[in-house]
Structure 1
Amino acid sequence: MSTHPVPLHRRPRGSWTGKAVVNAVLALFACYTLMPLAWLLVASTKDRGDLVGTGGFTFADFHLLTNLGDLFGHDDGIYGRWLLNSVLYFGAGCLASTLLSTAVGFAFDKYDFPHKEKVFGLVLLGVLVPGAVLVLPQYLLASRAGLDNTYWAVLIPLLVNPFGVYLARVFSEGYVPGEVVEAARMDGAGEWRVFRSVGLPMLAPGFVTLFLFTFTASWNNFVLPLYMLSDDKLYPVTLGLAIWSKSSQQNPEFSMLTVVGALVSVVPLVVAFVCLQRFWRSGLTAGAVK
């Protein structure tokens, strides 16, 4: 049977049609995804009058710098405090959550203990439970412990991530050979040393991927801070913007602050993905060619 490639002029026309359809669908989804961001960028350059008096994607006089000054100067810089709170909640909190999930996933993969698979099954059950369902019980527990309306009320629930444990186990199976772990133990390394010096460096791409997933989901989390916090100085940026958006119905000044604040709140996500995309793309292939 001949193995020569089919000349271009003799290749089925349907293959080109299929590629065109796929590219068209991808372009449509890209436009759908980027359109809100494009509108946000254009709207942030306008003043309040142009925001309601011009088309959504029509540029007017450039007021972005003025809008940024108004945003960070409003109410003694409360927006800047919200940004710092978000970095604490969803930056430091998600970093700790990712480290904990990675350690637990590594343990599920590399250690044998009684009823391991049954315990892991319980972890998978946790993946199936929507996070919003757990918010009220978490609030009641935090209230009984005296932690409601504190930073800990948001930070502690973020540490528990069943999906992160599952994903970390998959990464450990794909990135860390059991022979390397056994060799480290034979060289006299303790279990903590094995994880810290052998497992964690080899899991770096998976660690970054898991951190990005957790960071993005947590940054967009609105329900948990809404239940846990009543002091506006403890709000993350998502909750603060929601309060401003609701207030804009009575005070139009907040409409411009909400638009510009939403644009600024996207920047940390973009920076995180741009800086860590090399690890993220390699982490997504973990276990694909095991």
Structure 2
Amino acid sequence: MTGTNGTRSPATTASPPASVHAADAPKEAPRLRKPRGNTPGRPRRSVLLTVLTGLVLLYTVVPLVWLVISATKTQEGLADSSGLWFGDDFALWDNIGQTFTYDDGIFVRWLLNTLLYVVLGAGGATFLAILGGYGLAKFDFPGKRAVFAVVIGAVAVPGTALAVPTFLMFSKMGLTDSPWAVIIPSLVSPFGLYLMWVFATEAVPVEVLEAARIDGAGEARTFFQVALPLLAPGIVTVLLFTTVATWNNYFLPLIMLKDPDWYPLTLGLSAWNSQAETIGGDVIFNLVITGSLLTIVPLIAAFLLLQKYWQSGLAAGSVKE
């Protein structure tokens, strides 16, 4: 290149573009976000949670272990051995035989009474909860908010608070000391109704119901053939809750029933325990313990067999889109 004075100026080198320098420059290593588990307070909370869970597990399992071990002992073995270890003689089958045959098999009668109360009471409560929950979830009508408030309020009221008014009402109707005094109050389950209401709201799409109605299906057919199969997990969940509530019901039969032939297992075992604590009583403690073990076996079997339906029923409706 020639300058103004005729001299040749040195060639200037073109500087590379900024993009080249940016490409050649070393890249800064990305900062790694520390996991939340490395925070100082996190391990302490995890250990505390584990300890609390272990304490709850011991509180739950130890009485059950004691019950199983004690049911294998004789009356003498209950006094001579440790409560959490087996005795010298394994008498489980003898204890079961004595429990079923004592007092002309009154334990079998109590077991059948309990099954009757569960089938009619818990089964009826589940059926009414299905109908009411489906209707409240899929139909609009005046006063729906008031019904919701009544249901929530009824869930908050304990059953023992209604036992005395129920007894006074049933005594005027002449239904006390009869199985109806236990079955009819068991038909009302506000919690089951609320649970089916919430479950049916999410589990049964409105589009499916409208498609069935367009195809000419009536409301009854739409409910039984379309909605009811979709409600199966919720039905099992409500059935488990109502079954446990009816099976373990003690205070209502206590004030309603006087005839031992209509006692459920809870009231019958309480009567056996009172006799065993009385000096000169014919009932021995190993029968009370064995009867208690036999009482909880059906509930444990029901939860184990229906566990998958129960878990899915609890989770349904908990997430809103």
- TM superposition score normalised by structure 1: 0.93
1:128 and 2:156 matched: yes
- Cα pair 1:103 1:195 within 8 Å, conserved: no
Distance change >3 Å, CA 104–CA 2, structure 1 → 2? farther
User: Which residue in the other structure is 1:281 paired with?
Assistant: 311
CA offsets per residue over residues 217-267 of structure 1, 9 Å max, x none? 221110111111111111110000011111111226332211110000000
CA offsets per residue over residues 168-195 of structure 1, 9 Å max, x none? 1111112111111222222222222222
CA offsets per residue over residues 121-179 of structure 1, 9 Å max, x none? 12222112221111122222222222211111111111111111111111111211111
Aligned with 1:84 (options 112, 123, 139): 112
User: Which residue in the other structure is 2:241 paired with?
Assistant: 213
**Count of residue correspondences:** 289
Give unmatched runs, 5+ long, in structure 1: none
User: Which residue in the other structure is 2:66 paired with?
Assistant: 39
Match of 2:73, SS state, is coil
Q: Distance in 1 between matches of 2:233 and 2:152?
A: 23
- Cα pair 1:164 1:210 within 8 Å, conserved: yes
Distance change >3 Å, CA 4–CA 103, structure 1 → 2? farther
- Cα pair 2:121 2:246 within 8 Å, conserved: no
Distance change >3 Å, CA 266–CA 106, structure 1 → 2? same
> Offset of 1:58 from its aligned partner?
2.0
* RCO higher in structure (CA 8 A, sep ≥6): 1
Q: Distance in 2 between matches of 1:261 and 1:4?
A: 61
> Offset of 1:272 from its aligned partner?
0.6
CA offsets per residue over residues 83-109 of structure 1, 9 Å max, x none? 111111123421221111111011111
User: Which residue in the other structure is 1:23 paired with?
Assistant: 50
Distance change >3 Å, CA 19–CA 95, structure 1 → 2? same
Distance change >3 Å, CA 78–CA 252, structure 1 → 2? closer
Distance change >3 Å, CA 53–CA 5, structure 1 → 2? same
- Cα pair 2:177 2:257 within 8 Å, conserved: yes
- Cα pair 1:82 1:233 within 8 Å, conserved: yes
Point out the structure with max Rg over C-alpha: 2
The amino acid across from 1:95 in the alignment is G
Q: How does 1:264-275 map to 2 (within 5 A)?
A: 264-275=294-305
> Offset of 1:82 from its aligned partner?
0.7
> Offset of 1:4 from its aligned partner?
5.8
> Offset of 1:119 from its aligned partner?
2.0
- TM superposition score normalised by structure 2: 0.85
The amino acid across from 1:258 in the alignment is V
- Cα pair 1:94 1:211 within 8 Å, conserved: yes
Match of 1:194, SS state, is helix
User: Which residue in the other structure is 2:227 paired with?
Assistant: 199
Q: Distance in 1 between matches of 2:317 and 2:66?
A: 39
User: Which residue in the other structure is 1:167 paired with?
Assistant: 195
Give unmatched runs, 5+ long, in structure 2: 1-28
The amino acid across from 2:114 in the alignment is S
> Offset of 1:115 from its aligned partner?
1.0
Match of 2:90, SS state, is coil
> Offset of 1:116 from its aligned partner?
1.3
- Cα pair 1:208 1:279 within 8 Å, conserved: yes
The amino acid across from 1:136 in the alignment is V
> Offset of 1:210 from its aligned partner?
1.1
CA offsets per residue over residues 29-79 of structure 1, 9 Å max, x none? 111111111110011111111112222112102110110010000011110
- Cα pair 2:272 2:283 within 8 Å, conserved: no
Distance change >3 Å, CA 248–CA 113, structure 1 → 2? same
Aligned with 1:62 (options 90, 101, 104): 90
The structure where helix makes up a greater share of residues is 1
User: Which residue in the other structure is 2:13 paired with?
Assistant: none
